[in-house]
Amino acid sequence: MTGHALLTGVEDIREAVGETLRRYLTERVREVGALDAECGRELADRVTSFALGGKRIRSTLVWWGRLAGGGEDRGTGARIALSAGAAIELFQTFALIHDDVMDSAPERRGEPSIHVLHAARHRSRSYAGDPERYGDSMAILTGDLALAWADDLLYEAAAGRPRALRIWRDMRTEVMVGQYLDLRSQARTERSVGRALRIDRLKTASYTVERPLRLGAALAGAPAPVEEALRGYGRDVGVAYQLRDDLLDLYGDPARTGREPGEDLREGKNTMLLASGIDLARRSGDTAALALLEGVGTVPVDPAEAAETLERLGARDLVVDHCRSLADRGASRIAGLDIDPGVRDGLLDFAESAARI
């Protein structure tokens, strides 16, 4: 343990990562602007504003992983961890921008999505060609730029640290496979609890919780038992985090979630909530409920009716209980670790928030 109070507060970590991002992106945007000023304004600047606007959950977990692994909160090692946290925020920027294109999402964080913004510019400037195709293409390029910069920053920061580099490589691959499975599942109208949870682990739990924690721990040279405990915590709490998001999609307050209820239904996503409802309807012989829920992804379904049906069948309670069970199990995995109390409290609070519906 160190002889001073470690930097563990979420707001302090957000600020430190934000400053690292600003410094790095200022230079990278300048490079793009030197090649083409308009590209600098319309693509590179969007990466900066997007990356700086997030909650920085993942970078906070990188930092906590470092401290849990025995790392200090100052010196060269701390600067490397902040750079890794900034890199993961850029990776998140890439993932969300591309996700919005794939989902045809009109908004992100209360503002027009990147592809929508560029399509509108195309129309207002009377460019030739199709505005939507132009918007999608520009958004893909913006996401690609964020991914390239994320890789550059991480590989510069973690040079000579093979464990950390392997975790980063694995995370990227898992996210791509998870997104593929998600899109394929929608196209096939798959309704399977097991497949839904597999997607949740690969697409969300991996790069939201598990890999950020393990990346920080690897950068600190954490002993194997600590990294293993963080791995288990990350998998459990990461899936709980996604299940909570699925529940909020139907049962959350739009004023708090920033989205209209039922987005997952409109996109035909295979979630544990929907798959469980179909299973329960089949077992109970509720043909009306089964017809309604099996129509998701192929015909318009009223979100309020679907929400009421899933609650009546017991699917909502089933998912709430599983979410709570995962969060509790994840918390128990770190209970015995000899880590800084501020880090432990932060991780326990995060696990609790993942089960708070």
| pLDDT over 50 (residue 5) | no
Amino acid at 46: R
Q: What percent of the chain has pLDDT over 70?
A: 98
The CA radius of gyration of the chain, in Å to the nearest whole number, is: 21
| Predicted confidence (pLDDT) at residue 231 exceeds the cutoff of 70 | yes
Mean per-residue pLDDT, 189-199: 95
**CATH class in words for 161-357:** mainly alpha
* Contacting residues for 148 by C-beta, under 8 A, at least 6 apart: none
Distance of CA 351 to CAs 58, 198, 234, 293, 313, Å? 14, 20, 9, 30, 27
The pLDDT of residue 10:
81
Specify the pTM: 0.92
pLDDT band at 6 (very low <50, low <70, confident <90, very high): low
Kindly state the tokens that stand for 154. Answer: 């991480």
Reduce the secondary structure of the chain to three states and give it as a string: CCCCCCCCCHHHHHHHHHHHHHHHHHHHHHHHHHHCHHHHHHHHHHHHHHHHCCCCHHHHHHHHHHHHCCCCCCHHHHHHHHHHHHHHHHHHHHHHHHHHHHHCCCEECCEECHHHHHHHHHHHCCCCCCHHHHHHHHHHHHHHHHHHHHHHHHHHHCCCCHHHHHHHHHHHHHHHHHHHHHHHHHHCCCCCHHHHHHHHHHHHHHHHHHHHHHHHHHHCCCCHHHHHHHHHHHHHHHHHHHHHHHHHHHHCCHHHHCCCCCHHHHHCCCCHHHHHHHHHHHHHCCHHHHHHHHCCCCCCCCHHHHHHHHHHHCHHHHHHHHHHHHHHHHHHHHCCCCCCHHHHHHHHHHHHHHCCC
* pLDDT at residue 311, as a whole number: 98
Q: Which CATH number is 7-159 given? A: 1.10.600.10
pLDDT of the residue at 4: 43
| Per-residue pLDDT tens over the stretch 309-333 | 999 999 999 999 999 999 999 999 9
pLDDT in tens, 17-54: 999 999 999 999 999 999 999 999 999 999 999 999 98
CATH 1.10.600.10 range(s) for the chain read 7-159, 161-357
Across 1-5, 27-31, 204-208, which has the greatest mean pLDDT? 27-31
> What is the residue-averaged pLDDT of the chain?
93
Band of pLDDT at residue 68, cut at 50, 70 and 90: very high
Determine the pLDDT at residue 56.
Answer: 93
